[in-house]
Amino acid sequence: MNIAIIGTGYVGLVTGTCFAEFGHNVTCIDKVTEKITSLLMGEIPIYEPGLDVMVQKNTAEGRLHFATDMATAIPAADAVFLAVGTPSSRRGDGYADLTYIYAAAKELASHLRDYTVVIDKSTVPVGTARQVERIIRESNPNALFDMASNPEFLREGAAINDFMRPDRVVIGVESKKAEAILREIYKPLFLQDTPIVCTTIETAELAKYAANAFLAVKISYINEIAGICEAVGANVIDLAKAIGMDGRIGSKFLHPGPGYGGSCFPKDTLALMRIVQEYGENAHIVAAAVEVNAAQKARMVRKIREMLDGSETGKTIAVLGLTFKPETDDMRDAPSLTILPALLEKGANIRAHDPKGMTEAKKHLPEDITYATSAYEAAKDADCVVLLTEWNQYRALDLEKLRNLMRHPVFIDLRNVYDPEVMKRSGFAYTGVGRK
């Protein structure tokens, strides 16, 4: 199959590369010339484990191509995937900004020749595919195409595995012809018994929002329970294990921490709330999850302050991890973006380290943060260490070395990586989330 991917961001690049790995002929298109130039030189604009190797392999083998002009790939494409950004509106109202989607639809319309399936891959509100279809038909009344929706369910840091071995593939279509083409594209997954859920376009569009909102609710729930555990003297780790063994609940996303972040959960929960409001419905549970998440980040600031004897003013805080999760350089809505400025405002000195995220962090965090080359450099003469992102290299720190470097051996573990008793025996004043 000849496939065109419009957009070379996180979703577009991973999708296009994996389709090429399936054996398809794929062209990834982006209007940003610098991005395409870098990709042609083998430079990957994002950090995703394994992606660089797969891009280089499929480029060398002639299945993966990059271009700035739609005319190079759209006319010959059997399928065109729209994978451009749908950020929250700059108005701050939570609505998804569909500017890039609609602009891409209008531009690609003039390049459609033979029958083509146009697929929304981006996370978009219900009804977007219908608008894209309208724009294409108005721009090119003679175009032969069908619309479809094929939401992505990729986790940053595990995107390649998620794409190649997904729990399911969701496709929303209205014609058997479009369904057949999408099934052919995903045929390698069908051969390994991956379920393909074929449904309506509207259902497929809503599925991604509903899934992300459910996971956000689950995270906020366990964070709220963690606060209760601290109040009554319970252990949230043991509690999460106990309830997670219930097959109706499951153990995933029951890990307390400083709150969720990233490119999906914050944006998609707000967008879902706006969608249901437009239809006169309510999303009370989702709204509560959003509120709890914001409160959790503020609670982490108070926890740090309490461990510094009630004030962070003039104190040096070593921060380990800045990205919203490990194995990515993504800083979008990372807890660090809320927690660290709040500490700085009260006069803290922050020295931070992240294995992959410091370049991105410098673009989003205040300028007066100092960046260290290692966790130990960050901890030198620090009044406390805050473990904010659970990168593997932070899971086996030399505790004696760390303690000897610090001015005061205070360890604030916002990911519950370390055993409290081990930390206390190692000479640290220690606190986690939801346990003493």
**8 A C-beta contact, residue 154 and residue 160:** no
Element (H, E) at 130: helix 128-139
Which position has the token pair 């890990």? 255
Of the listed 18, 229, 264, 384, which one is catalytic? Answer: 264
Q: Is 221 helix (H, G, I), strand (E, B) or coil?
A: helix
Instruction: Say whether 264 is catalytic.
Output: yes
b (16+ CB within 10 A) / e for 319-353: bbbbbbbbbbbbbbbbbbbbbbebbbeeebbbbbb
Q: Exposed (0-12), middle (13-18) or buried (19+): which is 188, by Cβ within 10 Å? A: middle
Distance between CA atoms of 56 and 335, rounded to whole angstroms? 33
Q: Which of 389, 261, 375 is nearest to 327 (CA)?
A: 389
Q: How many CB atoms lie within 10 A of CB 236?
A: 23
Write phi, then psi, for 403 (nearest 5 degrees): -60, -40
**8 A C-beta contact, residue 275 and residue 125:** yes
**Which residues does the annotation mark as catalytic?**
264
